[in-house]
């Protein structure tokens, strides 16, 4: 694979002929379950359900199953506490069973027509392999373990007895799901003739088992023990690994700990923030006047320029980064945003800086929680659009956390991780890689530019973080006699009634 050119942004441009492609790896968003029929055809592709949103893929950021999530959490807390321990103590509305149970309730016709449900990241490899019959689809441990409460300890998916407590039909569905899920260094199948022709690739090349974009991104960024990989986009995922031969405590409030979900022989630890880039987009699109520019891009540039001139705390503001709920460590979608400290002189770029800082404080809260439970963070590698495009954000993250921020070399780190698994799944005889680690050593790297913390800025942010934690705990936990904890949720309840 001759390297022909390296672009300024860090991505190598490879010019290779199609017949030298040895494997394909697939990453998608998730949890994104799709209802399919007996042949594996998505119901949304059938005429009957074509216009029915409930028959479409249930996208990862869909929180409509929040009541079902609470019910699953409650029932598991009573009957199967071990299920919750592996997913941070709370089952999320964004996950597999919440969505399927919600589908059963709001669209019983869709549920009844669904022979099975398949995660999007498992479905695409099956399509490429030419066999989407649900019983033939190879399921990835990433989606199964992080979103569907699959664990070898208790025999795979949740048992029928538990599922029947939620809905008898869920117990019935279990027989039409799967009994095994595997890491992404394994083969999902081989490229079928139809798709080989469409893609101009050789038929029969390896297709690796699919996984979520963030997990693939962790691998593409060179994840190893002690490395926190942050995938910074509209929302954020934080990935870490711990060798599976060492004991690892459950970490309360951390989305999931799943063996093999990132690297085959390690526990994959996933945390994240429900909205980061999305908050900035919301702010710029809805609350920034034209004095900062006309287009979204112009506004972002002007905001960053003005915000970069400010000293930490000089705006007197503090925000909570919960415009789309809190994924880690509170695992509560019914939280909302907060901005505090505005005067009659507060300007948009000051709020923009406060919003970036809020996401940095959220990031620090996750790091602290992971370290408190025995997983040291020795290095942070960032990837995703924000890491590459927003130097102000990277500097603030360094200053808030007091740690250097490295950036993965590629602009498409998740794709690099997926491709890497394509090579590994092809086997050492074809790729030359015995292990994922070997492939990482050959492929992954960070940029020369590292954002180092400024000690003076870090000192101010340390002071501000104690204030952030007061707001975080008051509005996010029940410690404060439950009163402040309820303000956001009661407002949401009123909102839903009045809309």
φ, ψ dihedrals at 62, nearest 5°: -75, 120
Give me the least distance between CB of 88 and a second copy, in Å please. Answer: 23
262 binds a second copy (CB under 8 A): no
- 471 belongs to the binding site for a second copy (CB under 8 A): yes
Report which DSSP code applies to 332.
B
Quick one: which of 132, 227, 328, 336 contacts a second copy (CB under 8 A)? 336
- The alpha carbon dihedral of 398, 400, 403, 405 has a sign of negative
Contact 107, 96 (CB under 8 A): no
Q: How far is the CB of 402 from a second copy (least distance, A)?
A: 17
DSSP code of residue 31: S
Question: 340, 450, 462, 478: which one contacts a second copy (CB under 8 A)?
Answer: 340
Residue nearer to a second copy on the CB measure, 225 or 278: 278
Q: Does 309 bind a second copy (CB under 8 A)?
A: no
User: In the set 179, 180, 434, 490, which binds a second copy (CB under 8 A)?
Assistant: 490
Indicate the burial class of 272 (C-beta count within 10 angstroms; 0-12, 13-18, 19 or more). buried
Encode 78-133 in three state secondary structure: HHCHHHHHCCCCCCCCCCHHHHHHHHHHHCHHHHHHCCEEEEHHHHHHHHHHCCCC
| C-beta closer to a second copy: residue 174 or 327 | 327
Task: Find the binder of a second copy among 90, 227, 261, 324 (CB under 8 A).
Answer: 324
CA distance 348 to 287: 8
* Choice between 59 and 192, CB closer to a second copy: 59
- Report the b/e string of 339-372 with b at 16+ CB within 10 A: eeeeeeeebbbbbbbbbbbbbbbbbbbbbebbee
Q: Which of residues 403-462 bind a second copy (CB under 8 A)?
A: 460
> Which x/- pattern, by CB under 8 A, does the window 276-305 give for a second copy?
--xx-xx--xxxxxx---------------
* Nearer residue to a second copy within complex by CB, 52 or 234: 234
Considering the complex, what minimum distance in angstroms separates the CB of residue 51 from a second copy? 24
> Omega of the bond prior to 31 within 30 degrees of 0, cis?
yes
Under rule CB under 8 A, residue 275 binds a second copy: yes
* Nearest distance from C-beta of residue 477 to a second copy, angstroms: 13
**Following DSSP, what letter does each residue of 368-407 receive, concatenated?**
HHHHHTT----EEEEESHHHHH-HHHHHHHHHHHTS-BEE
- Any contact of residue 312 with a second copy (CB under 8 A)? yes
Interaction between residue 484 and a second copy (CB under 8 A): yes
Chain position carrying tokens 């117990």? 171
Stretch of 29-37, 146-154, 216-224, 467-475 lying at the interface with a second copy (CB under 8 A): 467-475
The verdict on 392 binding a second copy (CB under 8 A) reads no
* Least distance CB 87 / a second copy (angstroms): 24
Encoded tokens for 111: 């549920």
The 3-class SS string of 286-307 reads HHCCHHHCCCHHHHHHHHHHHH
Binding site for a second copy (CB under 8 A): 275, 278-279, 281-282, 285-290, 311-318, 323-324, 336-348, 351, 460, 463-464, 467, 470-471, 474-475, 480, 483-484, 487-488, 490-492, 494-495, 497-499
């Amino acid at each position: 694979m001759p390297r022909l050119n390296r672009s300024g942004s860090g991505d190598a441009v490879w010019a290779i002929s199609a017949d030298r492609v040895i494997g394909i790896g697939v990453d998608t968003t998730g949890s994104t379950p799709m209802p399919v029929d007996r042949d594996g055809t998505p119901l949304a592709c059938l005429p009957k359900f074509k216009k029915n949103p409930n028959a479409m893929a249930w996208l990862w950021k869909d929180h409509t199953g929040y009541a079902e999530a609470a019910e699953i959490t409650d029932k598991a807390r009573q009957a199967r506490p071990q299920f919750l321990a592996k997913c941070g103590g709370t089952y999320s509305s964004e996950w597999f069973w919440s969505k399927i149970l919600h589908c059963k309730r709001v669209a019983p016709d869709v549920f009844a027509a669904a022979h099975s449900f398949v995660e999007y990241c498992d479905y695409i490899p099956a399509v490429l392999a030419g066999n989407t019959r649900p019983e033939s689809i190879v399921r990835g441990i990433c989606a199964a373990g992080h979103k569907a409460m699959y664990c070898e300890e208790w025999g795979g998916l949740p048992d029928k007895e538990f599922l029947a407590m939620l809905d008898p039909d869920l117990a019935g569905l279990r027989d039409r799901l799967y009994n095994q899920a595997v890491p992404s260094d394994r083969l999902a199948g081989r490229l079928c003739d139809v798709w080989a022709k469409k893609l101009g690739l050789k038929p029969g090349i390896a297709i690796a088992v699919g996984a979520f974009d963030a997990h693939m991104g962790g691998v593409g960024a060179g994840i190893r023990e002690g490395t926190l990989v942050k995938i910074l986009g509209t929302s954020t995922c934080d990935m870490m690994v711990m060798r599976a031969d060492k004991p690892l405590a459950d970490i309360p409030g951390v989305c999931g700990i799943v063996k093999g979900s990132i690297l085959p022989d390690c526990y994959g630890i996933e945390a994240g923030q429900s909205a980061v880039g999305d908050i900035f987009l919301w702010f710029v699109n809805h609350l920034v006047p034209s004095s900062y520019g006309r287009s979204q891009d112009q506004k972002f540039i002007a905001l960053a320029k003005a915000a970069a001139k400010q000293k930490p705390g000089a705006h007197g503001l503090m925000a909570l980064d919960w415009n789309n709920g809190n994924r880690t460590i509170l695992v509560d979608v019914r939280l909302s945003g907060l901005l505090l400290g505005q005067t009659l002189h507060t300007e948009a770029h000051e709020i923009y800086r406060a919003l970036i800082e809020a996401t940095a404080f959220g990031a620090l809260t996750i790091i602290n929680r992971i370290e408190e439970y025995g997983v040291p963070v020795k290095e942070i590698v960032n990837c995703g659009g924000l890491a590459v495009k927003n130097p102000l954000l990277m500097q603030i993250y360094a200053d808030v956390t007091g740690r250097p921020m490295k950036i993965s070399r590629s602009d498409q780190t998740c794709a690099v991780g997926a491709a890497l698994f394509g090579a590994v799944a092809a086997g050492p005889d074809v790729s030359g890689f015995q292990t994922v680690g070997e492939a990482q050593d050959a492929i992954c790297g960070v940029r020369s530019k590292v954002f180092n913390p400024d000690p003076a800025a870090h000192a101010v942010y340390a002071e501000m973080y104690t204030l952030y934690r007061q707001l975080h705990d008051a509005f996010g936990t029940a410690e404060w006699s439950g009163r402040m904890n309820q303000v956001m949720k009661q407002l949401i309840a009123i909102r839903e009634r009045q809309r």
